[in-house]
A and B are shown apart, each in its own frame.
Chain A
Amino acid sequence: MNHLSDSQLNEYLDGTLTASVHHTLGAHLGSCASCRMRLGEFQLVFDRLADLPEAPLSHDLKPDILKRLPLKRSPIWTPVFAVQFGVVLGVLVWFSSEAARIFKPQMITPTLNGFEGFHLPQIALSQMTSLFPVFNMQPLTINFLLTVPKFQFLLATMVGPDFHITVPYFQYWLNQLPALQVPLSNTPSFLIIGSALLLWLIGNAVLLRDHSEAKK
């Protein structure tokens, strides 16, 4: 057997060889003084590193570290945060719908169960367009609707020859978007807005508390 390579010697010491290879190399080392000497040199490195004591720290790093810690850890999606987020989102939707009901009463449609509803997406779109003309998506929508018939052939191939999409079909489909049900009374709205304000105040109080604790 030739002399062992550095890789073999290293892996022998690391114990990463299979049992049979380890045994074979061990047998060679038993009979080859040169390889045994090289193995000893590597073994010495292992021993020296294992014996190396830890260097002492010149001073306690804790005060510096605590001083440099960010006031708030990275936001995490805790259940509490999820509930708060859901409540705030609900309030925003509710508030938008109330505002829309006041400013766009023509969009309100009667429903069967004594509530009134309206098509929120259309209202949101028209509100956005009037506030920010850059968001005027009406030409885009019309272009899209005009493009649909061009794909008739492809759709018919995929779905079947009897399938037809027309522009009126899409307009009908858009009108079927879910309508938000809004109670006539404003009381629940004010209750929710009040709760949101309360949450906001509590949140600020918590932030102030953390800030003062961090200063301590």
Chain B
Amino acid sequence: MSSTDERSLVMRVLQGDRNAFGEIVIRHQQAVFNAAYRVLGNVRDAEDATQEAFIRAYQFIDRFDLDRPIAPWLMRIVVNVCLNRLEVQKSPSALDDETTLVPDPKPGPEMQTITRDRNETIRYELSRLPPRYRIVIELRHFQELSYEEIARQLGRPLSDVKSDIFRARKLLSERLKGLV
């Protein structure tokens, strides 16, 4: 989608055209859902977070900078929604806890024979990471933010962010070692 298209869509939304917002949802829901899924670790929560993120985007669309692409803005919103959900569900300290969220179950033996897929395993191992690690992995690897941008978005010290990214990769590296 060209930036001109996005701009005109947002302009129409600003003028009260809800169908234009529907068009934005169609174009970005997949990416927004995937970001939420990677962070929250299960489909139902991810779908709820996606809906909430789009509703927030609609409410605050007058704050959107028309000169920028809309996708990164939506991604920032959905990550914040996910963070809020994680914090509401558990105390902040529990964000370090590996058992904070129950991820979608690992495919059983029968399913494994069908979907014994490397990607399923990676997704499963991602969902097993402590939530604060999942957030930084999402922002660094999937949204390609710099360390500084991540620290700014999360409101955390740069050193903490780096440390979390490195530990998350270390954990993933150990768990994915045997993966062909």
Contacts and interface: CB of A to CB of B under 8 A. Distances in A.
B29 A57 contact: yes
Given A6-B166, A42-B173, A49 B122 contact: yes
Interface in B94-126: 118-119, 122-123
Contacts of A48: 118, 122, 172, 176, 179
A70 B29 contact: no
A74 B18 contact: no
Contacts, number: 99
Contact of B22 (A42, A51, A62, A210): A62
A69 B21 contact: yes
A70 B59 contact: yes
Interface in B26-83: 26, 29-31, 33-34, 37, 43, 47, 50-51, 54-55, 58-62
A7 interface: yes
Nearest to A16: B147
A64 interface: yes
B18 A54 contact: no
A58 B29 CA distance: 11
Contact of B29 (A10, A52, A61): A61
Interface string A30-67: 00000000000110111011111111111011101110
Interface string A136-172: 0000000000000000000000000000000000000
Contacts of B176: 44-45, 48
A61 B59 contact: no
Contacts of A55: 33-34, 37, 43, 123
B177 A68 contact: no
A210 B15 CA distance: 12
A156 B71 CA distance: 62
Interface string B111-144: 0000000110011000000000000010011100
A56 B26 CA distance: 13
A73 B60 CA distance: 8
Given A7-B162, A41-B173, A61-B51, A69 B37 contact: no
Contact of B26 (A6, A58, A62): A62
B30 A65 contact: no
A44 B58 contact: no
- The 4 A-B pairs of least Cβ separation, nearest first, read A76-B62, A49-B141, A62-B25, A10-B166
